[in-house]
Amino acid sequence: MKNLILEDLGLINYKKAWDYQIQLFNDMLLNKNNEQINQEHHILFCEHPHVFTNGKNGNHSNLLINNELLKEKEIEYYDIDRGGDITYHGPGQQVVYPILDLDEFGINTREYVHRLEESVINTLESFSIKAARLNGAAGIWLDVDDKSKCRKICAIGVKSSRRITMHGLALNINTDLKYFSFMNPCGFIDKGVTSMQKELGQIIDISLVKSKLWENLMVHFNIDSLVLGE
Summarize pLDDT for 20-72 with one digit per residue, the tens.
999 999 999 998 878 777 888 999 999 999 999 988 776 777 788 888 888 88
Nearest residue to 211 via CA among 129, 153, 126, 133 = 126
pLDDT per 10-residue tile (average), the chain, 230 residues: 87 96 94 81 96 80 82 89 84 97 94 97 98 92 92 93 95 95 63 93 97 95 74
Q: From CA 42, how far away is CA 98, in angstroms rounded?
A: 6
| Amino acid letter, residue 7 | E
| Distance set, CA 199 to CA 45, 147, 192, 196 (Å) | 23, 17, 13, 5
In the DSSP assignment, the letter for residue 108 is -
In the DSSP assignment, the letter for residue 101 is B
* pLDDT reported for residue 123: 98
Cβ-proximal residues to 136 (8 Å cutoff; 6+ apart), any chain: none
Q: Where are the domains of the chain?
A: 3-228
Asked whether 17 and 44 are in contact (CB, 8 A), the reply is yes
Per this entry, what is the length of the chain?
230
* pLDDT reported for residue 89: 95
Q: Would you call 2 exposed, middle or buried from its count of C-beta atoms within 10 A (0-12, 13-18, 19+)?
A: middle
* pLDDT reported for residue 188: 52
Homologous superfamily (CATH) for 3-228: Bira Bifunctional Protein; Domain 2 (3.30.930.10)
Cβ-proximal residues to 2 (8 Å cutoff; 6+ apart), any chain: 39, 41, 104, 105, 223
* pLDDT reported for residue 1: 57
* Mean per-residue pLDDT of the chain: 90
pTM: 0.92
| Distance set, CA 125 to CA 1, 130, 139, 186, 213 (Å) | 30, 6, 16, 24, 11
Residues serving a catalytic function are: 186
Instruction: Pick left, alpha or beta for residue 84 (phi over 0 → left; psi -120 to 50 → alpha; otherwise beta).
Output: left
In the DSSP assignment, the letter for residue 21 is H
The string of DSSP letters for 182-209 reads GB-GGG-SS-EE--HHHHHTS---HHHH
The string of DSSP letters for 25-53 reads HHHHHHHTT-TTS--EEEEEEEE-SSEEE
Nearest residue to 58 via CA among 143, 157, 127 = 157
